[in-house]
Structure 1
Amino acid sequence: MELNETLKVLACTRPDGVRETYPEYDVHYHRMQQVAFVVAKQLMSMPQGTLANFDGCNYLGVAPYAGKLEVVVIQDSDGKSIDGEVSEEFSWHYLGPVPFEDLDMGGEEEIDEFSALMEKWLESPKFHQLVPADKLDLESKAAEEWAIAYAAEREREKLGKA
């Protein structure tokens, strides 16, 4: 499976369905994504479930989605949930263009900080092995199934209003 290296713009969809983009941050976001692709390519040669461990709370992995490998950023704010049940302390987001997936990385300073964290990792890589090894793949499969069902539901609602 190949890595999806399509650059995504920084955006979010508001509760009223309005999609907002932030072009002033895209140069920072694209740089971050490009560094993430370098990290992801290293992970692709590792056993399933291997993550780049940046600092014990921030990780990066790859997971299949719609026939390609997507870069996934994982944040484990308590440093304990990475191998446990997915909880409020454990969040993960795709960096690639995945339907209904919005990632708020903050402003340019936060984006640049994350890029620097990954660049530092490239100098001295540390890894984490997920338990179970297919945890991220299973989470990604569930997210893909949800997105397909949600898109179908939205389409039915549109047809019902027409």
Structure 2
Amino acid sequence: MIARARDKTNCHSHGILYDILDMSQEKQIGLFDMVTSVYLFPYAQSRLTLSRMCKTMTMNLKPDGKMVSVTLNPLLTNNCLDIQEQYGAKMIAQGPLIDGTSIQVILRTSQGNINLCNTYWTKKTYEQLLVGAGFSSIVWHQPRISPAGLETHGNDYWQNHLIHPGFSILKCQR
């Protein structure tokens, strides 16, 4: 995925760095205007690891820099996990959705299934750890459906996804 991103963009001329790092190691690789992640935080299997990931993000941001992350929806409930399968992600929680609950995620793709082991974290925990790492202005965004998606599948198809999305988009500032 990283190699593909590098191939698609002339990242050096735009000041973009694509890299693979262990975000729990609290390592600074530079100071950036923005850091992004997609489903990074659900890989934290402990509160300490999640805290370290948040700190690593902060360490790599310039003052007033922004962080944007796509993550599991912290408002998910066990009752709405089955809904996600309609949209390509089967989610099986290993207990009630509380901080630290493991969720098996099976993504259906045209090349076969991809199995992931994610960890659920509450909105309260995310926000406590983000503030503790030096972030402010924490805003959660729910997904919206593109005009093309609405045209392809219709409004009714997306209603459950809009009411109980499997992911959220998190934005905050250093």
TM-score relative to the length of structure 2: 0.27
TM-score relative to the length of structure 1: 0.28
Say which one has the larger Rg: 2
Structure with the bigger percentage of strand: 2
